[in-house]
C-alpha cells in the first residue's frame, strides 16, 4: 500500500498569503527602520541625560532657535508619561529588531503575534503624530533626531500594515490585499510629504526669511 503525498508530508501548512520572500523583504525594511529609530531614540536619551547633569548643556542638534532638540526636550511634552519619551523608543525598536532578525532567519509567527506587532507599531505611529503636532504647532521648535524617528516609524507602520494585509492577518478585500505591498512605498512617501510639507509651511518664515 502506498501513502499519499499528504500523509508523508508532516510539515505545518503555510498560512494563507504566506510568502517567505516577501516576509524577508519586510524583515530587511523593519531591521533598517528599527536600527535607525533606535539610534535616534538612544541619541535623544543620551542628550537628555546630559541636560539632567548640566542644565546649560547644548545638544548636538541645537542648531538655531527653531531647530533645537534642547528646546523640545525641556518641554512637558517630552515626558508624556512621566519619563523621557525616547526610553519608549529604545525598548520598542529593540523588540522590532529582534522580530526582524527572526523573520530574516526564517522564523514564522502566528497571526496573533503579527496582530500584537501591528498594534504596537500603530500605537507608536499615533504617538509620533502627536509629537509631530506638538513640536510643529505648540512648541514651535523642531528636533532632528525626533524627525528621524518620525520617518522610520512612518515607513515601519506602512510596511507592517502592508505585510499583514498581504498575509491575511488583517482582513481586507482581495484587491486591497494584493495591492498593499506594491503601493506601500508610495503611501509611505505620501505620508512623509504631508508631514514634512506641513512643517515646511509652518516654519517657512524662519526657513526662508524675507
Would the pLDDT of 16 be above 80?
no
Per residue in 162-187, pLDDT (tens digit) is 999 999 999 999 999 999 999 999 99
* Nearest-angstrom CA–CA distance, 49 and 43: 10
Q: How many helices (H) and strands (E) does the chain have?
A: 9, 0
Tell me, what's the pLDDT at 17?
A: 58
What's the pTM value of the predicted model, to 2 decimals? 0.89
Question: Three cell numbers at 156?
Answer: 515601519
Tell me, what's the pLDDT at 13?
A: 42
Would the pLDDT of 127 be above 80?
yes
Would the pLDDT of 22 be above 80?
yes
**CB neighbourhood size of 124 (10 A):** 21
**139, 72 in Cβ contact below 8 A?**
yes
Question: Three cell numbers at 92?
Answer: 520598542
Fold of 20-203: de novo design (two linked rop proteins) (1.20.1440)
For the chain, helix, strand, coil in percent to 5 are: 70, 0, 30
The dihedral sign for the CA sequence 25, 166, 35, 39: positive
Range from 11-15, 46-50, 132-136, 185-189 carrying the lowest mean pLDDT: 11-15
Q: What percent of the chain clears pLDDT 70, i.e. is strictly above it?
A: 91
| Domain residue ranges of the chain, discontinuous segments joined by + | 20-203
Please give the backbone phi and psi of residue 183, each rounded to the nearest 5 degrees, phi first.
Answer: -100, 0
Between CA 143 and CA 149, with CA 147 as vertex, the angle to 5 degrees is 120
Amino acid at each position: 500500500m502506498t501513502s499519499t503525498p499528504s500523509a508523508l508530508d508532516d510539515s505545518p501548512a503555510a498560512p494563507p498569503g504566506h510568502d517567505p520572500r516577501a516576509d524577508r523583504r519586510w524583515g530587511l525594511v523593519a531591521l533598517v527602520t528599527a536600527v535607525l529609530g533606535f539610534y535616534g531614540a538612544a541619541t535623544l536619551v543620551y542628550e537628555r541625560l546630559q541636560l539632567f547633569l548640566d542644565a546649560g548643556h547644548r545638544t548636538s542638534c541645537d542648531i538655531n532657535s527653531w531647530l533645537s532638540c534642547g528646546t523640545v526636550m525641556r518641554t512637558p511634552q517630552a515626558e508624556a508619561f512621566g519619563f523621557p519619551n525616547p526610553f519608549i523608543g529604545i525598548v520598542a525598536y529593540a523588540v522590532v529588531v529582534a522580530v526582524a532578525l527572526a523573520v530574516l532567519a526564517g522564523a514564522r509567527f502566528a497571526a496573533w503575534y503579527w496582530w500584537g506587532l501591528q498594534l504596537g507599531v500603530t500605537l507608536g505611529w499615533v504617538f509620533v503624530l502627536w509629537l509631530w503636532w506638538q513640536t510643529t504647532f505648540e512648541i514651535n521648535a523642531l528636533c532632528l533626531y525626533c524627525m528621524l524617528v518620525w520617518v522610520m516609524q512612518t515607513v515601519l507602520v506602512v510596511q507592517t500594515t502592508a505585510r499583514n494585509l498581504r498575509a491575511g492577518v488583517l482582513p481586507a478585500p482581495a484587491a486591497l490585499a494584493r495591492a498593499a505591498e506594491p503601493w506601500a512605498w508610495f503611501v509611505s512617501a505620501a505620508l512623509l510629504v504631508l508631514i514634512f510639507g506641513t512643517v515646511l509651511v509652518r516654519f517657512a518664515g524662519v526657513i526662508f526669511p524675507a
